[in-house]
Amino acid sequence: MRAIPLFTLLLGGWCALPAYADEAQDWLSRLGQAEQQQSFLGTFVYERNGSFSTHNIWHRVQDGKVRERLLQLDGSAQEVLRIDGHTQCVSGSLVAGLSNPPDSSARTLDPQKLKNWYDLAVIGKSRVAGRQAVIVALTPKDQHRYGFELHLDKETGLPLKSLLLSDKGQLLERFQFTRLNISVPTDGDLQASGDCKAVTQAPGKVAKTKVAWHSDWLPPGFELTGSDSRKDPDTQVQVSSLMYDDGLARFSVFLEPLNGANATDTRTQLGPTAAVSRRLTTPQGEMMVTVVGEIPIGTAERIALSMRSDVATQ
């Protein structure tokens, strides 16, 4: 799961609790600690864009390392093994094009930072997978990010369920445990199958120099958290990427020289994920800029059009 995964349930049947922001911050702090300190195993369902899938998860914290294995139970068998957030192997359709970003370690939630961009409140309680939960709402203060509702396990602080919601309250993504066992997975549980293909990053592929691009506009609270430049294995064209984060939501920007190739502007929304590609004319020639992330599509488009080359300002 991601550091703040995909989160909670439909609106209804909750017992009212006072909406104390301090209490909500305490629960978010527990959530941030739980996924780095608590071992568990279980089964969860994931809903996105009208499609459902079911997954087993084994999550072990031992000797300061977090080792996690996920296995999809329906459709094509898809498997992922991660250690401290870094992908070790994958199977199924996930194999194509997957590589480790330079900084893919799990993030630590910072409720003090999040409250600048989200209203935090405890809004109720529920029962998920047979366990008692507290419901925490994160409501965005602007139109550039989505809202979350998190059902957090009273005993451990782990996320039992989550909903990702649009500004109109539309359900974009759902994550929900159907079974959760607070025990330590065995070595056998965490052993990937033979179909799980190792993910490696070839030496020298990632450029050591800073990516010479920046955005003239970003939604408030989003900061640059990483960048790299590497050759596309198919086209051999150098592609630059920048990763941005507000402490909860994230998006990436990819910049690729067209070198005379034909390319058209596109905009796509799949559940919560927006993907916008725009051609830009720069001093270095025509570039294709693509923004991908769990942000509204209008925000992604504005970010794409705001990208500028640092070379032009020198």
Point out which residues pair with 118 in neighbouring strands: 140
For residue 9, what pLDDT is reported?
A: 29
User: What is the number of alpha carbons within 13 Å of residue 80 lying toward its C-beta?
Assistant: 21
Mean pLDDT of 37-50: 94
Q: What is the rounded CA–CA span in Å between residue 279 and residue 260?
A: 12
Give residue 309's pLDDT band: very low, low, confident or very high (50, 70, 90): confident
pLDDT in tens, 294-303: 999 999 999 9
For residue 107, what pLDDT is reported?
A: 61
Mean pLDDT of 172-179: 97
For residue 20, what pLDDT is reported?
A: 60
Calculate the average pLDDT of the chain.
Answer: 86
Is the CB of residue 87 less than 8 Å from the CB of residue 95?
no
For residue 49, what pLDDT is reported?
A: 83
Query: Mind listing the domains of the chain with CATH numbers?
Result: 21-197 (2.50.20.10), 202-313 (3.30.200.100)
Q: Is the dihedral of CA 149, 273, 145, 85 positive or negative?
A: positive
Whether 208 has a pLDDT exceeding 60, the answer reads no
Whether 45 has a pLDDT exceeding 60, the answer reads yes
pLDDT in tens, 138-162: 999 999 999 999 999 999 999 999 9
pLDDT in tens, 73-126: 998 889 999 999 899 999 976 554 444 444 444 567 899 999 999 999 999 999
Whether 10 has a pLDDT exceeding 60, the answer reads no
Mean pLDDT of 64-76: 93
Q: What are phi and psi of 34, to 5 degrees?
A: -60, -45
Is pTM, for the whole model, over 0.75? yes
Give residue 312's pLDDT band: very low, low, confident or very high (50, 70, 90): low
User: What is the number of alpha carbons within 13 Å of residue 132 lying toward its C-beta?
Assistant: 3
Residue 74: alpha-carbon gap to chain centroid: 22
Mean pLDDT of 33-61: 94
